[in-house]
Each structure stands twice: as C-alpha cells, then as structure tokens.
C-alpha cells in the first residue's frame, strides 16, 4: 500500500468529512493542513503519491522527485498548479477529480443571480448604514428589484458546470443562451456568437477554463457590449476578467452589477482593485461555489477511487 501525502488538506475539509475510503486506499496517509514552498519537499517526505488541491508542483520539484513519485492526484478539476508537460516526460501520471461539484456550483450561481436581481448586497448595506431605520416608510425602494423569470442567462463555457447552471436557471423560467467557443470556425446550431450573447443576455455566467485565449477576455471592450441593466457572474477562474476594467464598469454604471466567487489571485491581497472600495452592486464570495459538504465528500471519495485504480493498473481521470 502506498504512502500518500495530501499537501493542503484543509482547503477541502473543515474536519467535517469522512476519510474512511481514502485511508483504506492508502498505506499511510499524511494530512498537511497547508504547505508553503519552503516546506514542500519535507511534507512530501517519502510519499509515492501526492495529493494537491492548489499547491504548486513545478518542473524543478518533479525532476527532484522523479525516482520517487508514482502518481499525482489533483484535488480539483483544474490542473494549472501542476507542470503537466514535465510530469508526462518523467512518466508521472497526473489525475484530477471530475463532476463532483456540478450541483453545488449551479446552486451557488442561482443564489448569486437572485442576490443580484433582488439587490440583496445593496439593501443589506443600506440596513447596516441605518437607511431603513431612518426611513419615512415601512420599506426601502432605493435600488431597483427585478425578477429572473423570463430573463436571459448567457452561459460562456458549456461543460458540466455550465450545463448544470443552465438546467437550474431554466427551471425558474430563465431563457438560456450558450456562447460558441472562441476558437470555433463557425457557430453551431443551438449556440450564438460571444458578441451576440454579450449584447442580448440579462445575466452572463462564466464557466470556461482559464487559458491563454481566455485570460482577461472579459475586458473593457466586452463589458461595453453588455446591456447597462445586465449582470456578470464568475464562478470559474478569476483571471477570466480584467478586474480594473470591471471596477470601472461598475463604478460608472456601465453594467448593473457583478457577483464573483473567484479573483485573479487567491487568497487575494489588499492590492486587488475590487477589494479597495465598497460597491452596492458588487458581491464577492471566497471561492466557495464548489464547497458544499456533499461535493467535498464526493471529491475525497473520488481521490480514493483514483488511488485504488492506480493500484489495480487501470488508472482513471488521467490528464497527461
């Protein structure tokens, strides 16, 4: 049975998950709450299998451990933190977990849509600032409230998460537009061009991967294409949006609002422009769309399945 080191276990669990299946798949399981760069090799120790959610495993680390590492498991779907090319050259398989958070992310997206439509951040802020307490009436009507039924949701990135979000949105009466891929030679039936989606959608939800092509592709030019009554949501990767351009669009009323579960650097620093001001039309959550307890338990159990499949010589979910 292999030795396994989980380098950032606390990013997946708040001591609220059942580790039985994962422990049974491992000879020894070392759970590190977090791993900084200067502790990386020490935390890996003699482990043959490494589990990492967001800890960086670059070429130098992989080369140094090439005779030891037999498998890398990414405790997420995205694998940006692993040098996949070097791992493949060294014969180290890398596997990820998949489809574990479809429902969790979709429900979070719908909650953000309702929060924006009902202006919940703005009204919460108004109550905190005692606007309701000093009102001449029983209610506040300072911020326009809309209903989502009949509104158009534009999905950019129509994989499992985009599809799950579209399904829930359709259930509450929203109309769905799906953007064609940026690199597609032509627009397929059932999809629309990105430009058309930007101009038509009342809500736009990002679900695409972060690549060279999508890096900061939601910029000033594309924000200008959106309706002034439209809202932007991002539960994918923070780097998809030029944050300075988004801040300007929110401050000038170019778009109605935004809800973000991800930022370009995580954890963020005070230098992030979106965190330097308090806006009633901006809602930020700390990368928790994926993090329902059932989703996190599925993630842990799938890691166990990957390790068992490796031991049985029929590896699942390999990405390199």
CA angle 232, 76, 96 (to 5 degrees): 130
- For the question of residue 147 being annotated catalytic, the response is no
Say which of 14, 147, 266, 293 is annotated catalytic.
266
Phi, psi torsion values for 214, nearest 5 degrees: -100, 0
Say which of 108, 191, 237, 296 is annotated catalytic.
237
Other CB atoms within a 10 A radius of the CB of residue 73 amount to: 24
Residue 19 CB partners (closer than 8 Å, separation 6+): 29, 300
- For the question of residue 46 being annotated catalytic, the response is no
Residue 198 CB partners (closer than 8 Å, separation 6+): 154, 204, 222, 225, 226
- For the question of residue 180 being annotated catalytic, the response is no
**Separation CA 123–CA 64 (nearest Å):** 54
Other CB atoms within a 10 A radius of the CB of residue 137 amount to: 7
- Which positions are annotated as active-site residues? 237, 266, 287
């Amino acid at each position: 049975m292999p030795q396994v080191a989980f380098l950032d276990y606390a990013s997946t669990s708040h001591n609220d998950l059942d580790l039985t299946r994962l422990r049974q798949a491992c000879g020894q399981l070392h759970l590190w709450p977090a791993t900084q760069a200067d502790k990386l090799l020490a935390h890996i120790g003699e482990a043959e299998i490494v589990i990492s959610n967001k800890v960086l495993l670059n070429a130098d680390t992989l080369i140094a451990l090439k005779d030891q590492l037999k498998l890398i498991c990414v405790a997420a779907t995205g694998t940006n933190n692993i040098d996949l090319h070097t791992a493949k050259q060294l014969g180290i398989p890398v596997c990820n977990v998949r489809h574990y958070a479809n429902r969790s992310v979709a429900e979070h997206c719908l909650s953000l849509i309702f929060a924006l439509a009902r202006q919940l951040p703005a009204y919460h802020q108004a109550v905190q600032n005692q606007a309701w307490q000093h009102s001449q009436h029983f209610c506040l009507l300072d911020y326009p409230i809309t209903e989502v039924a009949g509104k158009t949701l534009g999905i950019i990135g129509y994989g499992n998460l985009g599809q799950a979000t579209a399904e829930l949105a359709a259930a509450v009466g929203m109309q769905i537009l799906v953007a064609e891929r940026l690199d597609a030679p032509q627009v397929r039936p059932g999809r629309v061009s990105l430009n058309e989606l930007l101009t038509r959608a009342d809500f736009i939800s990002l679900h695409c991967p972060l690549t060279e092509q999508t890096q900061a592709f939601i910029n000033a030019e594309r924000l200008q294409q959106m309706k002034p009554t439209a809202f932007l949501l991002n539960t994918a990767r923070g780097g998809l949006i030029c944050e300075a351009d988004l801040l300007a669009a929110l401050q000038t009323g170019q778009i109605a609002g935004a809800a973000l579960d991800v930022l370009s650097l995580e954890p963020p620093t005070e230098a992030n422009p979106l965190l330097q001001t308090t806006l009633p039309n901006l809602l930020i959550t700390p990368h928790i769309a994926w993090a329902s307890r059932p989703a996190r338990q599925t993630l842990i159990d799938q890691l166990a399945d990957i390790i068992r499949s490796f031991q049985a010589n029929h590896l699942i979910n390999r990405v390199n």
